[in-house]
Amino acid sequence: MRKYLTRRAVYAVVTLLGVSLSIFVILRILPGDPLVAILGVEGHARMTPADRVRIMADLGLSDPLPVQYARWLGDIGAGRLGKSFFRGDTVAALIAHRGPISAEIAVLALVVSWLVGLPVGILSAFKPNSLPDGVARAMSVLFIAIPGFWLGMLIVLALLFWVGYKAPILIVHVWEDPWQNLQIVIGPAIVLGLAQGAYIARMSRSCLLEVIGEDFVRTARAKGLREGLVVMRHALPNALLPVITISGVLLGFVLGGSVAVEQAFGVPGLGRALVTAVIERDIIVVQNLVLLYAVIFVVVNVLVDLSYAWLDPRIRYS
Amino acid sequence: MAIRVADHHLPTPETPTLAARSGVGAVLAELLRFSRRNTLAAIGGLVGVMIICVALAAPLLAPRDPLKADFRRMNKPPDAQNLLGTDQVGRDTLSRVIYGARTSLFVAFSAVILGTTVGSLWGVACGYLRGRFDLVSQRVMEILQSFPDLILAMAISMAIGTGLPAVIFAIAITRIPFGGRVIRSVALSVREMPYVEAGRASGASALRVMTFHVLPQCLAPYLVLATTHLGVAIVIEAALGFLGVGVPPPTPTWGNMLADSITALVPPWWLAFFPGLAITVTVLAFNLLGDGIRDTLDPRLSPAFLRMMAGGRRR
């Protein structure tokens, strides 16, 4: 187990180095002069060549690329994430201020997806090809197809038109005012959670059906257990493993999807900050935020792998 | 109901005639059989074909010019003159939704074909050659999969500039690892088959074996992959447009239209509703078709498919 742990950790670190390198390569092949992107064509034209050289040097953009890359990694190691070209905020402050909102949304979405997806999947598997199963499957197909940001827009519009309600637009952290905070995060969390719940329902249904066909389930039935107990105590724990794995993958959908869903709800989270930075071509912010999203995704998937090893005694990683 | 069940066990009468027929007849017979077994998938396919037709015939179908502003008719709700209403500068929503199908489908098809093809060829090479090349490639694909799709697409399209080719390229890159992973596992099992060994033994080069012996076996999973990823590509394209980093306006795309609708102070519901409905119907159609094709062409893939997405690295 320890050997497996170390190997998994080493792989994760290698992957993350690769991730950081690819972010760097992608963002440094930006066509055009970063100064034009920052100052606009007119502002760029007004400056003297000496000014341009000085600013490039100030921003550290005139060094050779390998040096820039090494310095970026070093800065991250030292906890310096640089700052925005336009706003003067440091990236660290941005993450500290907006990160909690996005994290709450992601975690709540995961909770919603399990709360909705698992019961629906179990109900479906209890009576496959029955009417409730058909309805559940149709709903999951539908919710997989509906883009979350559109559903979000519709919810916002409906609330606005019929109830005249609008969620707070300023950041309120959960430790400041839990009620206000909940109003901000609940919409995106439900929208994202429903889409992931559809995948979970689908997955848990097919896994349960697979497990229910196995010998030990027949044994459990043969010794006279009630059907409910057979499913809940014997079949379900064995069917849950793939569902846990898929949750790790779904987190990727949640992280990516939350960027658009936050925009739809007007939630001032990290995703909004990333979109703004991409539109303004704020390279330093973009490269650090994209890295942050990738790091979270990789780390969560490592944790999922480990929980897999921990939950399934049959798997002995060597 | 009983009759239909019994039907399945009868030797299907189509099968012998199928071999005899050729060309259009055979294709039609095959399609008929497919739709009898997968009604939902057939409906999805039909709707998909209809949407493709709408996209192709956009200039004939659209009642108005999708780019022409009409300042006397701004923000009008649906009425007889503009069936789906107009936007902030008086452009006809119906015409823009119809033209939007063009952009959406063009981007999605190009991106999926490009990404899945590159990924699949790469996967064949990985699965067949194995060794160090495979090891390094697997790490690269793992790196590509470490980014949430939408975020990777955003970063790439930002780097190479927003425009139609940039968006296609950005979405294509996010599709590569899926093709790579799935096709690699197919190639891994195909390379052990006797006929491939025979090819190798008779002195064929690795390239020749891969092209003529391994690649044809990957066609079915390739088709499955391509159709199942169409829906995802359409959603990513729409999301990019919605976030303002996709195909730049004034090109009508469903995502751009949704973006337009939320910038308004009082968002007009028709502008928010219809483009999104178009996205949902299209994605639904292609997803249903993809599921059906998967069940027909490669039943082995279906339960394992999501798990393979979860991690080819496991076990």
- CB contact under 8 Å between B261 and A153, yes or no, is yes
pLDDT of residue A5: 80
**Which site among A149, A255, A259 would you substitute to test the B interface, given the most B Cβ atoms closer than 10 Å to its Cβ?**
A149
Neighbours of A313 (CB within 10 A): 7
Distances (CA, A) of B65 to A130, A180, A304, B90, B248: 49, 45, 52, 11, 18
Range A79-100 burial, b when 16+ CB lie within 10 A, else e: eebbbbbeeeebbeebbeebbb
Residue B277 has pLDDT above 90, yes or no: yes
Range A11-28 burial, b when 16+ CB lie within 10 A, else e: bbeebbebbbebbbebbe
Asked if ipTM goes beyond 0.90, one says no
- CB contact under 8 Å between B148 and A253, yes or no, is yes
Chain B residues whose CB is inside 8 A of the A27 CB are 155, 158-159
Residue B152 has pLDDT above 80, yes or no: yes
Average pLDDT, chain B: 81
> What's the rounded mean pLDDT across residues B132-157?
89
Among candidates B152, B262, B310 on the partner chain, residue whose Cβ is nearest the Cβ of A249: B310
pLDDT of residue B240: 92
Residue A38 has pLDDT above 70, yes or no: no
Residue A57 has pLDDT above 80, yes or no: no
Q: Is A1 helix (H, G, I), strand (E, B) or coil?
A: coil
Among candidates A141, A149, A293 on the partner chain, residue whose Cβ is nearest the Cβ of B242: A149
pLDDT of residue A305: 80
- CB contact under 8 Å between A260 and B239, yes or no, is yes
Chain A residues whose CB is inside 8 A of the B158 CB are 27, 30, 278, 281, 286
pLDDT of residue B313: 36
- CB contact under 8 Å between A305 and B314, yes or no, is yes
Give the best-scoring range by mean pLDDT among A279-293, B44-58, B111-125, B248-262: B111-125
CB pairs under 8 A between A and B: 156
- CB contact under 8 Å between B311 and A301, yes or no, is yes
Chain B residues whose CB is inside 8 A of the A305 CB are 311, 314
- CB contact under 8 Å between A203 and B235, yes or no, is no
**Which site among B140, B158, B171 would you substitute to test the A interface, given the most A Cβ atoms closer than 10 Å to its Cβ?**
B158
Over chain B, what HEC string results?
CHHHHHHHHCCCCHHHHHHHCCHHHHHHHHHHHHHHHCHHHHHHHHHHHHHHHHHHCHHHHCCCCCCCCCCCCCCCCCCCCCCCCECCCCCEHHHHHHHHHHHHHHHHHHHHHHHHHHHHHHHHHHHHHCHHHHHHHHHHHHHHHCCCHHHHHHHHHHHCCCCHHHHHHHHHHHHHHHHHHHHHHHHHHHCCCHHHHHHHHCCCCHHHHHHHHHHHHHHHHHHHHHHHHHHHHHHHHHHHHHHCCCCCCCCCCHHHHHHHHHHCCCCCHHHHHHHHHHHHHHHHHHHHHHHHHHHHHCCCHHHHHHHHHHCCCCC
Q: In Å, how far is A262's CA from the nearest CA of chain B?
A: 10
Q: In Å, how far is A18's CA from the nearest CA of chain B?
A: 6
pLDDT of residue A32: 57
> What's the rounded mean pLDDT across residues A296-302?
87
Note the Cα B115 to chain centre separation in Å: 10
First and final C-alpha spacing in chain B? 43
pLDDT of residue A31: 55
Q: Model confidence at B4, in pLDDT bands (50, 70, 90)? A: very low
Q: Model confidence at A151, in pLDDT bands (50, 70, 90)? A: very high
**Is B289 or B306 the better-scoring residue by pLDDT?**
B289
- CB contact under 8 Å between B303 and A210, yes or no, is yes
> What's the rounded mean pLDDT across residues B102-114?
93
Residue A209 has pLDDT above 80, yes or no: yes
pLDDT of residue B21: 53
pLDDT of residue B249: 80
> What's the rounded mean pLDDT across residues A195-207?
89
Distances (CA, A) of A9 to A32, A136, A294, B217, B281: 38, 39, 15, 36, 43
Q: In Å, how far is B60's CA from the nearest CA of chain A?
A: 28
Q: Model confidence at A36, in pLDDT bands (50, 70, 90)? A: low
Distances (CA, A) of B161 to A28, A90, A278, B93: 13, 26, 11, 27
Among candidates B155, B272, B303 on the partner chain, residue whose Cβ is nearest the Cβ of A157: B272
Q: In Å, how far is B201's CA from the nearest CA of chain A?
A: 35
> What's the rounded mean pLDDT across residues B270-280?
90
pLDDT of residue A193: 93
Distances (CA, A) of B210 to A220, B200, B204, B207: 49, 10, 10, 5
Residue B98 has pLDDT above 60, yes or no: yes
C-alpha B287/C-alpha B228 separation (Å) is 6
Among candidates B150, B231, B311 on the partner chain, residue whose Cβ is nearest the Cβ of A260: B150
Chain B residues whose CB is inside 8 A of the A155 CB are none
C-alpha A80/C-alpha B77 separation (Å) is 51
Q: Write out pLDDT tens, residues A229-244.
A: 888 888 888 888 888 8
Which sign does the torsion angle of CA B35, B36, B41, B42 carry?
positive
C-alpha B231/C-alpha B279 separation (Å) is 9
Among candidates A255, A275, A286 on the partner chain, residue whose Cβ is nearest the Cβ of B148: A255
Q: Write out pLDDT tens, residues B168-193.
A: 999 999 999 988 888 898 888 888 88
The nearest alpha carbon in chain A to B142 belongs to A15
Q: Model confidence at B306, in pLDDT bands (50, 70, 90)? A: very low
C-alpha A154/C-alpha B279 separation (Å) is 14
> What's the rounded mean pLDDT across residues B231-260?
89
Q: Model confidence at B282, in pLDDT bands (50, 70, 90)? A: very high
The nearest alpha carbon in chain A to B228 belongs to A145
Residue A96 has pLDDT above 50, yes or no: yes
pLDDT of residue B125: 92
- A169 contact partners, CB below 8 Å, separation of at least 6: A266, A268
The nearest alpha carbon in chain A to B152 belongs to A290
**Is A18 or A89 the better-scoring residue by pLDDT?**
A18
State the burial class of residue B142 (Cβ atoms within 10 Å of its Cβ: 0-12, 13-18, 19+): buried
Q: Write out pLDDT tens, residues B5-22.
A: 444 444 444 444 444 456
pLDDT of residue A146: 92
pLDDT of residue B113: 95
**Is B92 or A197 the better-scoring residue by pLDDT?**
A197
- CB contact under 8 Å between B158 and A281, yes or no, is yes
**Is B3 or A52 the better-scoring residue by pLDDT?**
A52
